[in-house]
Structure 1
Amino acid sequence: MTRVLLLPLRALAFVLWFTGAIVRSSGAVLADIATPAPRGAPRVVRLPLGAGGDAHLVALSVCITLTPGTLVLGVVPDGDDGRALLVHSLYHPDAETALADLRDTSHRLRAVVRPEGRP
């Protein structure tokens, strides 16, 4: 019961965190535009999602695509029953950092809709 009552607070916390992520990413894009030398390091990374549901996949894809400097290119099969997102990242210094940030977004989003840790 308390988990249901805390849903608006969890959702608000995610919205505030995501707004901050958009502002930080926008700053990176603006800095790249304002300087003569390109600062981007474009790369495509594969983000495994496991057997997550369609709603999580769509919400995560929207969040990633709304963030300046990242774009979901598609969904591909990953293993027997899982899926993975192909994500273009422009401002992460390496693939590990990009994946860590994307996983963080996924975990924060999942905590809003599934706080019990159920799949």
Structure 2
Amino acid sequence: MSTGAMPIPRRTVVRARRLLRFAGYFAVRLVQANLAVAWEILTPGSRLAPAVVRVPLRATTDTEVAAVALAVSLTPGTLTLGVHREPTAALWVHGMYAADPVAFRRAVTELEWRLLAALRPAAHPDGPDGGQSEVTRR
């Protein structure tokens, strides 16, 4: 009789790696946003360019949409103002530094892509990896 530990399923390892990767990405983004807001407080009016931007979502479930909205709102300098599910899912996001709405939308989309990669199962057919076991950015 073997007394060794049970092997960890591959999907658990992949999921844990994805969650850790997102946590690291989000921690860096959080520090950067906090530094930008702190700099704005110390030097008022230096880069402030507020705007409200509509960001189309790839998130499909209520949980995914809520997680993306929460992650956006947790980042200093951004706030989710509204979520629309019909006809297509989209967030309305206020950004303190949104002088370039296209770049701002791209940054929120990047956050969503990374979050969905962490939340969705490894072989999710609608996932950011197209059902592959590892996430690869195209």
User: CA shift at 1:38, angstroms?
Assistant: 4.1
What is the match of residue 95 of structure 2?
89
If each structure's helix is expressed as a fraction of its own residues, which one has the higher value? Answer: 1
Q: Distance in 1 between matches of 2:98 and 2:85?
A: 24
User: Tell me, which stretches of 5 or more residues in structure 2 are unaligned?
Assistant: 1-8, 127-138
Q: Which runs of 5+ in 1 are unaligned?
A: none
Counting only pairs closer than 5 Å after superposition, residues 1-119 of structure 1 correspond to structure 2 as 1-50=9-58, 52-79=60-87, 82-114=88-120, 115-119=122-126
Q: Which residue number in structure 1 is paired with residue 134 of structure 2?
A: none
CA-to-aligned-CA distance 1:65-118 (integer Å, 9 cap, x gap): 000000000112443xx2211000111331001110000001000111224352
- Maintained 8 Å contact 1:25/1:67: yes
TM-score by length of 1: 0.88
- Higher relative CO (Cα under 8 Å, sequence separation at least 6) belongs to 1
Q: Which has the larger radius of gyration?
A: 2
Deviating runs (4+, > 4 A) in structure 1? none
CA contact (8 A) 1:50 1:78 kept: no
**Structure 2 counterpart SS, 1:93:** coil
Question: Would you say the 8 A contact 2:51–2:99 is kept in 1?
Answer: no
Superimposed CA distance per residue, residues 30-57 of structure 1 (whole angstroms, 9 cap, x where no aligned partner) = 1111114342100001111256111110
CA RMSD of aligned residues (A): 1.7
Task: Quickly say closer, same or farther: Cα 1:83–1:36, change in 2 above 3 A.
Answer: closer
More strand by share: 1
Q: Percent same amino acid at aligned positions?
A: 35
